[in-house]
Amino acid sequence: MTQTDSHVPAGASVRHPLAPLTEEEAGAACRAALASGAVEPGARIVYCAPAEPAKEAVLGWDGTPLPREVTVVTYEKGLGRTSVLTVGVPGGELVSCVYAPAAQPPIMLEEWRANSETLRGDPAFQAACARRGVTDMSMVQIDPWPAGNFGLPVDAEGRRLARCVAYVLDGPGDNGYAHPIENLVVLLDRDTGEIVELQDGEVVPVPRASGRYDEGTRELAPLRIVQPDGPGFTVDDGALRWGPWQLRASMHPIEGLVLHEICYVEGERARPVVYRASLSEMVVPYGSTSMNHWWKNAFDAGDVGLGKMADALELGCDCLGEIVYLDAVTVDEDGTPATMPNAICVHEEDYGILWKHFDLMGDKSEVRRSRRLVVSFIATVGNYEYGFFWYFYLDGTIQAEVKLTGIIQTQAVAPGTTAPYANLVTPELAGPHHQHLFNFRLDMCLDGPLNSVYEVDAVRVPPGPGNPYGNAFTASETLLKTEAQAQRLADSAKGRHWKIVNHSSRNAVGEPVAYKLIPTHVGPVLLAGEEAAISGRAAFATKHLWVTPFAAGERRAAGDFPNQHPGGAGLPEWTAADRPVVDADIVLWYTVGTTHFCRPEDFPVMPVEYTGFTLRPAGFFDRNPATDLAAASDGGCHT
C-alpha cells in the first residue's frame, strides 16, 4: 500500500514557516524574478528553494504567519552572470538581488542536452571518433562533466566550461559505460558551444563485450510487508510524527532531503536534538592520471544539485512496505513548476531485537523488538545512484546512511594490458581509483541552542597505584574550544567519537545531557596531495569533523557555488577566524565516505556500498527510554 502527502491540508490557513514549497509558490517566485528587471530577458532559472526564516523566528513561532520567501538562482548566458534573488510569495515582490558574476551556478539539464548535441555535430570530434571506427554519431553517448578548476590559463578566462567524454551504444537500452572511447576529451564552452580544446591521444580499441544488467531471470520468493492498521506515523504538510519522534522533512534542489526540528517527545515535553540536518556537499575525486580521468572531481550537490536529480521512487523496488510518499516541487529553466511524485519515501522497518534479558532466577524472559522510522530519497547523478537514508530508533538513536550503487566510471584498456591507478573489471575495462566523500551539516540544538563538543578517546591507564593490576582503561575527554581546535580526524584505534553536550541541562546523575557522534564507517579523508587542485576546492574533505558557530549564510561546506571555483570557499574561509565554539549555537560538519578500488563484482552495475554515521544518546535520558514499550500483543516477547 502507498499513500502520498503532496499538498497543503484542506482548510489550512497558516502554514508552518518551514512547510515545503508549493508548485504555485515556485511558479510565482520564478515569474516574479524573471520579470523584476533585475535580470536580463532570456535569463534562465537554475533552481528555486524556500528562503528559510531566521532560526530564532522559527523556534519562537507562535502561529502568527511569517513572510514566505523564495530564493531564485538565475544565469544570464550573454553576461555570464549568476544572480541570487529573494522573492516574496504569493505577492511576487523582489526582496533582494545579489549578483555573483564570478560564480558558476550548477549545471542545468538543458545545458547537458545541448552540450551533447553540439559535440556530436562537430567535424573534429567526428573525425576523432572515426579514427576509432565509430561513425554513427547517433550511437555516441556524451557525458559533459563539470570542468573543475586547475589553475590553468583557461580557468582564469571566466568561461562556463565542460569536459566531455564519450561512450558507444550498441543499441537501445545498452550500457554505454561498457564501451568507453578512451584518450578523447573535449573542453567545451557551454555558453557559446565553442570547442576550446580537443585532446585526441593514443587509440585504444573500444571494448565490445556487452555491459547489460537488465536481463536476469533468477526469481526470489515474494516478500510482503503488511501493516493491517496502516503505518504507525502521520505526515501533515511535511511534519512527521512517529512514536517518540517528531520532525519536518522537505526536498531542497541542491542538498536534497532536509530535516528540520528533530525532537524526541518524552511525556508532554518535545526535547530538541537537531534543528537542521542535511547533506552539505559531496565530492568524487579520481586518483587516475590518464587523459580521460585525472580531472574528474565532481561536486554532485554544488555542481549539479541532488534534489534536482532526485528519482521518482517506485513501490516494491525502491521502497518496500506500508509507504507514505512526499512529493517535491521542481522548476525548469523557464521557471515552469511541476510536481515530482514520490520524491521522499517514509516507512517503518522492523530492526530485530531492541533489548532482551532472560532472568535465570525468575525463569522469565523479556524481549522488545526494535523498529525504526526511515526517511529517504535517491538521486541519480550521471553514472551513479546515491540513496540518502535517515533512521530514527525507539531508543533515541539517529543514523544517517548513504547507499551507493549505479555504474562505475570505466577506462578502456587493450586486452592483455593493465592501467595505472585502476583495477581491471573485465579484460577490456578498468575502473579508476576514486573516492566518494559526503559532508553532512548538523545544526545542533540539544535541549536548547547552547551546546559544546568534547572529543572522546578510549585510552589505557598507565600501571601504578591507581591501576595496580594493569587492566584499567578510561575515556579521555577534550573540550574543543575553537574552530581551529575542532578540525578533527577519526581514529578507530582509540574508539574516537565526539560528544555534544548542553552544560545547562543536567540528567539524573548530575551530568550534562549529551549525544555522541559515532563514526560507524571510518575511512580515509581526501587522499589527493596538498598540492592537488582538488585539495583546495574540497578542503572540507581533508578532515572528518569541523565545528563552527552557527551563521545563517554558512550552509555549504565548499561554498554556495563550487562549480569551477578555484578553491578556499566554505569551511576553510569561515574557520580562518577561529571563532569560539563552547556553550554556543554550533554546527557540526561531518565527512563520511568510501574509497573505491573497483572489483570485477562492481560491473556492469555495482551492488550497494554503505557509509554513514550514528548519533546516539549518551546521558540525554535518565534511563533506557525504550523500557516503556509494552510486550507485543501477538505474544513471544515475554514469558
Query: Which of 139, 121, 67, 119 has its CA nearest to residue 96?
Result: 67
Sheet with 422-426: list strands edge to edge.
411-412, 429-432, 422-426
Q: Which amino acid is at 537?
A: R
> Can you tell me the distance from the alpha carbon of 5 to that of 26, in angstroms, rounded to the nearest whole number?
18
Question: Cell for 499?
Answer: 560528544
Instruction: Report d(CA 318, CA 473) in Å as an integer.
Output: 45
Amino acid at 605: V
Quick check: is 300 catalytic?
Answer: yes
Three-state SS letters, 124-161: HHHHHHHCCCCCCHHHEEEEEEECCCCCCHHHHCCCCE
In the set 286, 384, 386, 391, the catalytic residue is: 384
Cα dihedral 314→318→323→324 (10° resolution):
-70
Pairwise CA distance, residues 53 & 17, whole Å: 7
For residues 71 and 49, the answer to whether their CB atoms sit within 8 Å is yes
**Following DSSP, what letter does each residue of 296-343 receive, concatenated?**
-EE-IIIII-TTTTB----BTTTB-SSEEEEEEEEE-TT--EEEEEEE
φ, ψ of residue 359 to 5 degrees: the values are -85, 105
- In this structure, the chain runs to a length of 639
Instruction: Report how far residue 473's alpha carbon sits from residue 269's, in angstroms, rounded to the nearest whole number.
Output: 37
- Is 384 among the residues known to form the active site? yes
The span from the CA of 279 to the CA of 555, in Å, is: 10
Task: Return the residue matching grid coordinates 578500488.
Answer: 597
- Name the nearest CA neighbour of 245 among 284, 274, 210, 212: 274
- Extract the runs of DSSP E, i.e. beta strands, from 52-92: 68-76, 81-89
Tell me the C-alpha distance between 462 and 379, whole Å: 50
Report how far apart the first and last C-alpha atoms of the chain are (Å, whole number). 34
CA distances from 392 to 264, 322, 343 (A): 10, 17, 19
> Residue 391, Cα to own-chain centre: how many angstroms?
15
d(CA 636, CA 388): 34
> For residues 472 and 461, what is the distance between their CA atoms, to the nearest angstrom?
6
Which of the residues 300, 395, 447, 602 is marked catalytic?
300
- Residues 270, 448: contact at Cβ < 8 Å? no
92 torsion bin: left (phi>0), alpha (psi -120 to 50), beta (else): left
**Furthest-apart CA atoms within the chain: distance in Å:** 86
Look up residue 416 and give its three cell numbers: 592483455
Burial class (CB in 10 A: 0-12, 13-18, 19+), 15: middle
What cell does 488 get? 578533527
Which grid coordinates are listed for 354? 531492541
Residues marked active site are found at 300, 384
